[in-house]
A = this chain, B = another copy of it.
Amino acid sequence: MKFELWVIGKTTPQWIEEGINEFTKRLKLLQPVDFVLFNDVKNAKSLPVNILKQKEGEMILQKMANEDYLILCDDKGKQFSSKQFSVWLEKLTNLSKKRIIVLIGGAYGFSDEIYSRANEQISFSKMTFSHQLIRIIVIEQIYRGFSILKNLPYHHG
């Protein structure tokens, strides 16, 4: 099984990238998660929001295979405690899917097409975090989840 975290737009500033690298490195020993970065849509800033989301959605769907299991990070998705999240991660790895994709949207969220394609939606908070900061939050929580499953002393429940 491949486990991938997909994000849209260059990671910036530098400290965000360092945060992602820290947890991606730690995860390697537990459950490797590939960080896959999609370039921003051309002229993103001058496009109306709906068009931008649609173009981002098309870019994502083009890179997906039918068998991929797609999970969206969305503040309206299912909420978990970290312990519950670790149980959910375990179920996920037992789905025997070839590839599991956790997708973090751009600054404005997802197109309708992406919502329709998604297999699940998960939420890390009722709050909205910047689409850059959420990258660290997601990868830290995946690390925390697998460290709970492996009984590592990272999580103080």
Are B15 and A127 in contact, with the CB atoms below 8 A?
Answer: no
**B-chain residues with CB within 8 Å of residue A126 when the two chains form the complex:** 79-81, 125
Kindly state whether residue A156 has any CB partner on chain B within 8 Å.
yes
Copies of this chain held together in the complex: 2
Instruction: Give Cα A128–Cα B22 distance, bound, in whole angstroms.
Output: 18
Stretch of A35-43, A111-119, A135-143 with 4 or more beta carbons under 8 angstroms from chain B: A135-143
Instruction: Give Cα A14–Cα B15 distance, bound, in whole angstroms.
Output: 8
**B-chain residues with CB within 8 Å of residue A130 when the two chains form the complex:** 140, 144
Name the residue of chain B whose CB is nearest to the CB of A144. B128
Instruction: Give Cα A135–Cα B144 distance, bound, in whole angstroms.
Output: 17
A 136-157 contacts with B by CB, 8 A: 136-137, 140-141, 144, 155-157
Given contacts A15-B19, A156-B107, contact A85 B127 (CB under 8 A): yes
**B-chain residues with CB within 8 Å of residue A155 when the two chains form the complex:** 128
Chain B min CB distance to A79 (Å)? 5
